[in-house]
Amino acid sequence: MKKIKIFLILVVIFQLGACAQNLSLVKTERVNINDLYSVRPNINFNQLADSKITVWTVNGFGLDRIVFINNIKDGETLFGDDTTNTYKKDMNEVEIAELFIESMKVFGKWADGKFKNLKLGKHGPFNGFKFEKTLINQDGLSYKGLTSGAVINEKLYLVFFIATELHFFNNLQNEFLNIISSMQKV
């Protein structure tokens, strides 16, 4: 009986290890996000990254996240999938915001989403745009967020922050704004 118990504990440990995400720590120092810019966070983050998307979180991806979407070329989707609409290099800011919300709803499986307060502004040192968003997940939990972006050399670069409307949005909103303002050309 004792051997079976040990065996079951080992099986559970190995299953948990197999499900673990490969996270790395982002410290409070300047970090290159892509070949165009770097940022400097004021707090530590956990990071998941691939070639086009980098995701940071403090409390877990279901509670808060800052997402860097890099180098989206004409004809590509925002999240590298084949189910959402594609970015076109001649899109205006309204069309990009609509593409973003629609991509989040389809690819991210959000039940509802809207953007508001779209305006031209700085994306770090680049001329770009900003907008606010609200999203509701499949369970009815409400999220708020901010997005900053720019089209640079006909490629789309977005950074967005999203967190639960209750508690986490207000706690991390200023850190997102700090990250955008800390952006420097590489």
Which pLDDT value is given to residue 7? 34
pLDDT tens, N- to C-terminus, the chain (186 residues) = 444 333 333 333 333 344 456 889 999 999 999 989 999 999 999 999 987 899 999 999 999 999 999 999 999 999 888 888 999 999 999 999 999 999 999 988 899 999 999 999 999 999 999 999 999 999 999 999 999 999 999 999 999 999 999 999 999 999 999 999 999 999
d(CA 16, CA 171): 30
Architecture of domain 22-185: 3-Layer(aba) Sandwich (3.40)
Which pLDDT value is given to residue 21? 60
**Is residue 147 classed exposed, middle or buried when 0-12, 13-18 and 19+ CB atoms within 10 A define those classes?**
buried
Give the 3-state secondary structure of the chain. Answer: CHHHHHHHHHHHHHHHHHHCCCCEEECCCCEECCCCEEECCCCCEEEEECCCEEEEECCCCCCEEEEEEEEECCCCCCCCCCCCCCCCCCCCHHHHHHHHHHHHHHHCCCCEEEEEEEEEEEECCEEEEEEEEEEECCCCCEEEEEEEEEEECCEEEEEEEEEECCCHHHHHHHHHHHHHHCCEEC
d(CA 84, CA 82): 6
Which pLDDT value is given to residue 22? 82
Predicted structure pTM score? 0.86
* Residue-range domain boundaries for the chain: 22-185
